[in-house]
Amino acid sequence: MSNLGFHCHNLDLFDEMIIGNGLCRGEFYNLPPGELTRLKRLLSLHNLEWSIHAPLVQLEWYPKPPTWSFLCDLDRDKRELTMRMVTLTMEQADEFGAEYIVVHFPSPTSDESDEGESKVEAIAWKSCDSLAELSLKRGIPIHLEGVGASTLINAGFLKQVLKEYSPSLRYCFDTAHTHLAAMQNGFDLYAFEAELLPYLGSVHLWNIRSRDDYLAFRHIPVHPSQSAEDSWVDIAQVLQIMGSTRNSLPIIFESERFYPEALGDYNYIEGVQWVKKLLETLS
């Protein structure tokens, strides 16, 4: 299962979470700048496929948390700040040989403004122009990952964008962020996935039941105990909808290695093994 991998922002956990789980892929994010040489050595040693969740390294000049993205902001300076970060990430991807990078888009605007949705959408299109141009220049795909309470996280808008710019821009289907967006924007998560399937580039696996879960526990590992009847994302259904692409598209576990004690204190490895079994048995 060379397409299964783990998200990693601490190379001290590289062996435990990636190699220890028998995975052949990693997605790296926000590492200390001095760790790039170590990362290159580990990738070469284990012959891993890998990607970057922008930014690759910690940046003193970028706001915290670094997952903030301002590509839909009305403030041009903020948009340019995120593009500066993405451009640097693409340079590092080119230098070190990453397969693709993941960028948060669409995301909520941070501006307090009465401007209408049409203005925000026009700005979003301009950001897509810039991202696609950067991807073509470097020859490295960018996977867009919708996050937060943005009305632009809808299949209609995203299909237009991806149809226009594919294959430079693909979509990273994040199970839990999409769950939050579906609750916020009133769409069906599984129908959304099916509509975007032709444009998917990668998948992030983690889980929540609600915004309260996210605020309390952040990225909860997937686990076989999680039932759709209890408002968890149905991970088996997500993989089923992927069809044959589940055997080729990168599927990244994007959680910490600890399961919340208040929710059962399960071993996250059970979730990794469960997903492996699902991929082996789904037809």
The pLDDT score that the predictor gives to residue 113 is 57
pTM: 0.97
The pLDDT score that the predictor gives to residue 142 is 98
b or e along 255-278 (b: 16 or more beta carbons within 10 Å of the residue's beta carbon)? bbbebeeebeebebeebbebbeeb
The pLDDT score that the predictor gives to residue 1 is 64
Give the residues of the chain that fall short of pLDDT 50: none
From its phi and psi, is residue 36 left (phi > 0), alpha (psi between -120 and 50) or beta? alpha
The pLDDT score that the predictor gives to residue 107 is 94
The pLDDT score that the predictor gives to residue 163 is 98
End-to-end Cα distance, the chain = 15
The pLDDT score that the predictor gives to residue 115 is 61
Enumerate domains of the chain plus CATH numbers.
4-281 (3.20.20.150)
